[in-house]
Amino acid sequence: MSNQKLERIKRADFIKLLTDRLKAAAGGANAPIKDLYDYAPNRLAKQLHPDVQFLKVKEIIEHTPDMKSFLLAPDKTKGTETLAWFSAGQYIVIALNIDGKAVCRPYSIASSPRDTLQNELRITVKRVEGGIASSFLLDNWQPGTEVIASAPLGDFTFEPLRDAKTVVGVAGGSGITPFRAFARAIAQGDEDFSLVLLYGSRTKADAVFSDEFAALAKENQKIKLVNVLSEEKKRGCETGFITAKLIKKYAPKGEDYSIFLCGPQAMYDFVDKEIATLGLRRKFVRHELFGEYFHPERNADYPGDASKTFRVTVRMAGTERTIDCPADTSLLRAMEQNGIFAPSDCRSGRCGWCHSQLLSGDVYVPETVDGRRMADKLYGYIHPCCSFPLSDVVIDVPAMPHS
């Protein structure tokens, strides 16, 4: 067959195909195209993973003068019909307006996933010295307060393919909140692992949820609570701090175990050194970190002078502003203190939501909270939430999607 004849056949086939498609299009319905969320799978996906949750404070429980639990429910008047599903150990980001400044803060979810079926989500907040958001919530939130929150986020969750069947939890202060979610999920049959929680507090009175943990432990042998008190001796409690020796005492013998840590930075500074002596594989040690409260001068490799203050030029969406940033303050925190609404979620160097380009200058990023990829380091990208200035710097920050 000649090439010319072959080309005529191809053209004829193409013309027929095009004609058939035009006829099919002409005979189609004239109804408007459906909205994507008219389809059930898309509606379900939006319900499970919303861009934002509009909530209201349903109830407030005071544990101590400086620690409260807030029970949050959907605000149906704003369009949130049900709470988003989550995995035990995750957190939500709360958007706040404090003295005219927009800030975001992550809070671990203290309720279990199954509790959302009752339209109840709990966060527990402890006052942090110098903490703007924690003080605002504790002093201002009342029943009926409207709350804007993110969908559940974070990877401080149990994963059977990675984690051992027994988790030794190490908690301090309000760091017990994700472990409450774990314990309730275990008791309700939604998580399948054993939890041994070492809970560090100054006194037994400071150990919130202890009675609830004890009740769950009586009903379920997979749950165990060990209160570790640093400032008093109590029957049935350990005294002092959470050390490698104490972890070995309660960890399973002759088998792998994971360690999950959640608490203040001072606890990490101490316990991480203890864990290093246990010889565990890296994948078995998990942290829920909050890098903004890191004090860089406490690290042996910190090369700067924490008493200095530097100038930080922030470029965002075509605007430019220069602010002061003390050397011991993260770039993100300095921006917020100066009314610059920068993107943030985890505030611990992990999620990458505040991913920004360092155009000039030097910063210190603590290794323990440095979640950047190799390419980020190579091409000069940082996470402002855990980056501290070593000189005057210029950074290019992405604008918030809704700003």
Q: For residue 280, what is the domain's CATH number?
A: 3.40.50.80
Judgement on whether residues 374 and 313 belong to the same structural domain of the protein: yes
- Residue 389: inside a domain, yes or no? yes
- Residue 339: inside a domain, yes or no? yes
The pTM score is 0.82
Judgement on whether residues 191 and 276 belong to the same structural domain of the protein: yes
Judgement on whether residues 324 and 355 belong to the same structural domain of the protein: yes
Q: Which domain holds residue 283?
A: 166-288
Q: How many domains does the chain have?
A: 3
Judgement on whether residues 65 and 133 belong to the same structural domain of the protein: yes
- Residue 133: inside a domain, yes or no? yes
pLDDT over 50 at 324, yes or no: yes
Among candidate residues 115, 149, 183, the one where a domain is terminated: 149
Tell me if 133 sits within 8 A of 103, measured CB to CB: yes
- Residue 3: inside a domain, yes or no? no
pLDDT tens-digit map of 116-159: 988 899 999 999 877 788 999 999 999 999 999 999 999 999 99
Judgement on whether residues 259 and 338 belong to the same structural domain of the protein: no
Quote the CA–CA distance of 348 and 171 in Å, as a whole number.
Answer: 17
Judgement on whether residues 122 and 85 belong to the same structural domain of the protein: yes
pLDDT tens-digit map of 165-206: 999 999 998 899 999 999 999 999 999 999 999 999 999 988
Judgement on whether residues 118 and 201 belong to the same structural domain of the protein: no
- Residue 120: inside a domain, yes or no? yes
**Number of C-beta neighbours around residue 102 at 10 A:** 15
Among candidate residues 92, 119, 149, the one where a domain is terminated: 149
- Residue 17: inside a domain, yes or no? no
- Interacting residues of 71 by C-beta distance below 8 A, sequence separation 6+: 57, 58, 59, 60, 61, 120, 121, 122
- Residue 190: inside a domain, yes or no? yes
Quote the CA–CA distance of 71 and 313 in Å, as a whole number.
Answer: 40
Please report which helix (H) or strand (E) contains residue 92, including its range.
strand 91-98
- Residue 78: inside a domain, yes or no? yes
pLDDT at 3: 65
Among candidate residues 124, 149, 174, the one where a domain is terminated: 149
Count of helix runs (H) and strand runs (E) in the chain = 9, 19
pLDDT tens-digit map of 355-382: 999 999 999 998 878 888 899 999 999 9
pLDDT over 90 at 22, yes or no: no
CATH no. for residue 367? 3.10.20.30
